[in-house]
Amino acid sequence: MIEYVNRLNGQVCRISKNLNCNSDYVVYALICPCGKWYIGSTKHPAKKRVLEHRRAIVNQDMQYPVARHFRDTHSSNADLLKFTVLDRVEPLARGGDRLLALRKMESKFIVGLNTKAPEGLNMDEELYIHLKE
């Protein structure tokens, strides 16, 4: 079981699902050594998306907020980047839009963990309306 500390209230949160870098339809956290977090989501295996972030840092691709932060703060040292998979949207039993469900989950983590700039590294993310489930 993986645990992380909620940056807003100090509460320890436990991830009870069996998630790893090969899991798809996940919300993940990139964790900077300075304590800032970036929340993202992907329908692909998590490791593929994290490698894209690492490549952007190394190549100093300034269209990505994480790469900009690492250039400005950590000399584009991608080896300092840590990540964890936070949650997964399972296939929806009645069909429906799994990708929309993933985006809503991502938005909840961005708000709940306060990762919008300047406290975190999320910028310009469209936060989906949080509907009661």
Q: Please state the domain extents for the chain.
A: 2-112
Q: Please state whether the peptide bond connecting residue 65 to the residue before it is cis, i.e. omega within 30 degrees of 0.
A: no
Helix (H) or strand (E) holding 72: helix 65-74
Range 90-111 average pLDDT: 89
- Span of 6-15, 26-35, 96-105 with lowest mean pLDDT: 6-15
Q: What is the pLDDT of residues 18-54, one digit of tens each?
A: 899 999 999 999 999 998 999 999 999 999 999 999 9
What is this structure's pTM?
Answer: 0.87
Q: Domain 2-112 is of which CATH architecture?
A: 3-Layer(aba) Sandwich (3.40)
- What's the rounded Cα separation, in Å, for the pair 118 and 103? 21
**pLDDT-derived band of residue 131, with 50, 70 and 90 as boundaries?**
very low
Pick left, alpha or beta for residue 114 (phi over 0 → left; psi -120 to 50 → alpha; otherwise beta): left
